Structure 1
Amino acid sequence: MILKGKLVHQGIEVPDSSRSYCGSAAKQPQVISFDEIIWAETVGNAINLSYIQLNADKTKGELRMTRLRIEDEEPQSGASPPVYILNEAYADSKRQKRLYVIVNPHSGPGHARKLYHDHAEKLLKAGRCEITLQTSNYIGHAEELMKDLDIEQYDAIVCVSGDGLPHEVMNGLAKRPDGAHILATTPICQLPGGSGNAMCYSLNGTVDVSVACLNIIKGVAMPTDLMAITQRNRPTRYSFLSQSWGIVADCDLGTDSWRWMGSFRFELGLLIKLISGNTYPCKISYKLACPEERKSVIAYFSENKASGISQKLDEHSLDLKYGTVDDQIPQDWTVETHRDMVNFYVGNMPWMSSDAIVFPYTLPQDGAMDMITWDSDVKFFEGLQRFIAMTKATHVNNPRLIYRKVVAYRLEPLSEHYLSVDGESYPCEQFQVELLPRAGCILSRGDYAAVP
């Protein structure tokens, strides 16, 4: 069936036989948005159109294909209708991206391979992406693959996994002689194949695979801040998401053997740890990016959000301004000892899972990390309420939860517990973290989707 289409400002107007008007069988027009269109080409006497139809709040999508004939006059640009449609649909985004796709079949509940082959692959191919497929076979494999990858042959690296695989990819690229340049100019993306999928949710506002594919197909490369981590006698590592010490790290890494449960393992681990009443003594030192009063944090966020998101890619140094964990703590840092710490959490993206917007005041290029701390002045139900409040970001209103913007910090564990970096286990020893402005690269469709 060939539909009659009309070019309008937002896209292509076509009849929608699925709707009725005032109870009649009359067809009511719908508009296929340019934002949803991923390919158009003339085949025979009609245009073959591929698009990902989004729901009202753009959290779910479905691949659609239709044949149509443009009934009105040629576009004013003089281009043929398919060329005009693609120009409007892609604007500044590169078409037919060359993707290096890495699938981790062991991520989360183990569904990553099925998710890719049953869903993601056909979407990426419908957008005419060129795909090189690779499987990550063991821990550290992706990091090894990055050392010799001919990066000039690809427009983006796509991780079908949880948040651990992007962490490996990033650190593998950083080891190369041209690591700083590659990290700053090569987008690293995620299709939601793990338990947490925080990168996917932070960039898309959903973990729906169709929406994530649309962001990859049509996204524009955008700089993002990274974080450099040093520990004694170890090479510098890089983090894009978070570091946690305390109850969150225990709920994550302490439930690793429960990955078959999916994201529910976090909730179950949380209940167990809250009941146990564990504390996590540590010493923290930090340099503030702005005063720690909540109004100052909000002002910092608002000012950076108002300045907009830059899409200019340029190489930024991976050199450390504040030294390493082996150096003396600078005199202008604040030093605190917490004997009863319950949760120490630092993040560089807003969502840590699909139901937890932990850091609502973070932005991809604001030059700061968001730090949350709370001590053991809470009972079981209040602690549970704080975590429930993270689903709507209202936890930041709690006066006993401290929310800071920092540019660097150091943590010294005073007991033996888990230390989590981007959801990966790190040695439980003193470490220092420094914000590296605009040192990384992601894909985004015009804005940072999940910023409140």
Structure 2
Amino acid sequence: METGASEPDPSRQRNGFVGTLYGEFTDTLNDSLRYSVSLTASSLTIQRICSSPGRTKVVFNLADCIGCRAYRGTDSADIGAYFTAYFYPFKRRWMSAGVARQRVEQCFRVALVQDASVNLQEAERWAAAVRDASGLQAPRREGVTYTEVRRPGRVMIFVNPQSGRGQALQLFTGHVQGMLTEAAVPYKLFITEHQNHAREVVRRADLSRWDALVIMSGDGLLFEVINGLMEREDWQRAIQTPVGILPGGSGNALAASVHHYSQSPPAWNEELLLSCGFMLCKGLVGTLDLVSIHLSSRQRLFSFLSVAWGFVADVDIESEKYRHVGAIRFLMGTLVRLASLKIYQGRLAYLPAKEKPKLPKGTTKTGHSPSTPQRPSLCSSLPCQLNPDSSTNLISHHNHNSPNSNHNTITNTTGEITTKRSEGGGKTVTPVDSLLPDLDQPVPESWTVVQEEDFVLVLAIYQSHLAEDLWTVPGASADDGLIHLFYVTAGISRPALLRLFLAMEKGAHLSCDCPHLVYEKVKALRLEPVTPHGVITVDGEMVEYGPVQAQIHPGLARLICG
């Protein structure tokens, strides 16, 4: 369902502001209060004009400004005009330590002459100059190359009204809608009505109409959008459409990661939403790694966040029953799963990001002497759980759009592994997974095979956060070209496992010196569960249980970030 859209503002176009502007204006509520206002390429400085010494001066960084508008007053007899600038600087929180972005509005009345049209022209000149200068100033990380969403950008925003505690739409109207108006960002709101709705829309949409696709939900809805883009005939062009995230779910892992990448202080809940909304309004675009996932049924998916098996996947899926409490559902699910901790048998192999030094003669790649009995090499030892001759691939998804739904198996006939045939008879080659053999073939000699078969969890993640409050990979970035592989082996005690997750809130789990925790940076991996029943998730969505392998594709997509 589509709903209200704002219209483009031609005045949003940049005029190439350089130099300095200076003016004197009155307060909007009290004409006796006058201010001197100066605008440079980097700041807006406001100082009250009065006879007393020590005049108050306020300096606003234009990197914190998302927009400025000029307008006439509501009183037709008022000859004055007005311009208002909207800033979101970091300010100290009212009730706790630390800082967070908070809205500040600065409004001035222009009444230079007795001609209302001349005053409006002057207000418009200032508003355009502020927009111009603030557009050139945006929070950027050193060493990162950005592009920008076209101004005025046309944005399609997908909202899942069932995500999180069912408040995504209210959060959008209460926090984000006003910001987009202030920034003069035109948008179309699309409310999803069922599972894979966004995927279907994106798959057939005329993307030339949109400069960005933005998700107001949890991570599951972005999973739909990414795969919808990659299932198109023109996927190479489609996947270059910038995607943005506004946290409206329970986990909000990518939103927390994007906020972290902006080098901003930690934020949660509405503060995190404000931060992501600010970045959307600024419109900076970086690159985003995607990971190609292959399942035993030959289904191929594209992932932006994680692959999980064991404890993490169990908590994610089993905690769905607690989604009404919001992000705390994961803590509740963790405590429940700890009480009945499971051990999973399986085989794991990976391609290290950097080649390891050659081992001395007389040892194998895994470090054992030749006389040590070796496990079978990793090939698909489990029977395919689906009929390989079937023309339809099946994949089990957990429905994040419907909090009360059961786990259903749905039919999906897309996702060929190598090519798609276009209507004109040609072929559009999907990204080639050059590092991956077929699932029924052994892994190459250059891979590392983990001989330990008893796991508590396996987690492959490519963002910094697994949830708003789980800082899983402190050194990660959206485009570092790495899969960060964690696994925990059997033998860890329940208190030790709990300590790991509590330490992860501050990104300190790697300093716990836990002998059961292993962390590797890899380019590709293969996981073969031996335990007959379990859960595997991709980006928090439950997929077909069985052998799975994955490869990183650096910088394949584009992400609105800061």
The answer to whether the superposition gives a TM-score over 0.5 is: yes
Secondary structure of the residue aligned to 2:63 is: coil
Deviations 1:84-121 (A, max 9, x none): 32222112744332110110011111110111122211
Task: Give the aligned residue type for 2:259.
Answer: N
Secondary structure of the residue aligned to 1:277 is: coil
1:6-405 matches, within 5 Å, as: 6-8=38-40, 10-15=42-47, 28-43=56-71, 44-55=80-91, 59-62=100-103, 64=105, 66-67=107-108, 80-91=125-136, 93=148, 94-183=150-239, 185-205=240-260, 206-207=267-268, 208-290=272-354, 318-321=431-434, 322-399=436-513, 400=515, 401-405=517-521
Where structure 2 has 5 or more consecutive residues not aligned to the other structure, the ranges are: 1-26, 29-34, 72-79, 93-97, 113-123, 137-146, 261-266, 358-427
1:6/1:351 CA distance change after superposition, 3 Å = same
Query: Would the aligned equivalents of 1:368 and 1:405 in 2 still touch at CA under 8 Å?
Result: yes
Q: CA–CA distance in 2 between the matches of 1:282 and 1:70?
A: 75
Query: Would the aligned equivalents of 1:371 and 1:404 in 2 still touch at CA under 8 Å?
Result: yes
Q: CA–CA distance in 2 between the matches of 1:350 and 1:242?
A: 11
Tell me which residue corresponds to 2:536: 419
Cα RMSD (Å): 2.7
Query: Would the aligned equivalents of 1:171 and 1:238 in 2 still touch at CA under 8 Å?
Result: yes
Secondary structure of the residue aligned to 1:281 is: strand
1:344/1:85 CA distance change after superposition, 3 Å = same
Q: CA–CA distance in 2 between the matches of 1:326 and 1:88?
A: 57
Query: Would the aligned equivalents of 1:367 and 1:435 in 2 still touch at CA under 8 Å?
Result: yes
- Report the Cα offset of residue 339 of structure 1: 3.2
1:67/1:324 CA distance change after superposition, 3 Å = farther
1:323/1:271 CA distance change after superposition, 3 Å = same
Task: Give the aligned residue type for 1:12.
Answer: L
Query: Would the aligned equivalents of 1:227 and 1:433 in 2 still touch at CA under 8 Å?
Result: yes
- Report the Cα offset of residue 290 of structure 1: 2.3
Moved over 6 A (4+): none
- Report the Cα offset of residue 429 of structure 1: 0.8
Task: Give the aligned residue type for 2:67.
Answer: W
- Report the Cα offset of residue 178 of structure 1: 1.0
Tell me which residue corresponds to 2:263: none
What percentage of residue pairs aligned between the two structures are identical? 26
1:220/1:69 CA distance change after superposition, 3 Å = same
Q: CA–CA distance in 2 between the matches of 1:417 and 1:337?
A: 20
TM-score for both structures, normalised by structure 2: 0.68
Q: CA–CA distance in 2 between the matches of 1:289 and 1:316?
A: 25
Q: CA–CA distance in 2 between the matches of 1:358 and 1:414?
A: 26
- Report the Cα offset of residue 16 of structure 1: 8.5
Where structure 1 has 5 or more consecutive residues not aligned to the other structure, the ranges are: 18-23, 72-78, 294-314, 446-452
- Report the Cα offset of residue 324 of structure 1: 4.0
Query: Would the aligned equivalents of 1:221 and 1:441 in 2 still touch at CA under 8 Å?
Result: yes
Query: Would the aligned equivalents of 1:369 and 1:405 in 2 still touch at CA under 8 Å?
Result: yes
Q: CA–CA distance in 2 between the matches of 1:174 and 1:368?
A: 20
Q: CA–CA distance in 1 between the matches of 2:459 and 2:179?
A: 36
- Report the Cα offset of residue 215 of structure 1: 0.3
- Report the Cα offset of residue 67 of structure 1: 2.5
- Report the Cα offset of residue 439 of structure 1: 0.7
Comparing 337-346 and 264-273, the one that deviates more: 337-346
Over alpha carbons, which structure has the higher Rg? 2
Deviations 1:134-180 (A, max 9, x none): 11111111111111111111111111100000000000111001112
Q: CA–CA distance in 2 between the matches of 1:98 and 1:233?
A: 38
Deviations 1:284-322 (A, max 9, x none): 1110002689xxxxxxxxxxxxxxxxxxxxx99611112
- Report the Cα offset of residue 60 of structure 1: 3.2
Q: CA–CA distance in 2 between the matches of 1:338 and 1:286?
A: 13
- Report the Cα offset of residue 360 of structure 1: 1.5
Q: CA–CA distance in 2 between the matches of 1:10 and 1:47?
A: 18
Task: Give the aligned residue type for 2:486.
Answer: I
Secondary structure of the residue aligned to 2:275 is: helix
TM-score for both structures, normalised by structure 1: 0.84
Secondary structure of the residue aligned to 1:59 is: strand
Tell me which residue corresponds to 2:524: 408
Deviations 1:181-216 (A, max 9, x none): 221x21111111000111111111334222211101
User: Does residue 431 of structure 1 match 2:487?
Assistant: no
1:324/1:219 CA distance change after superposition, 3 Å = farther
1:325/1:398 CA distance change after superposition, 3 Å = farther
Q: CA–CA distance in 2 between the matches of 1:27 and 1:253?
A: 59
Task: Give the aligned residue type for 1:426.
Answer: V
Query: Would the aligned equivalents of 2:42 and 2:61 in 1 still touch at CA under 8 Å?
Result: yes
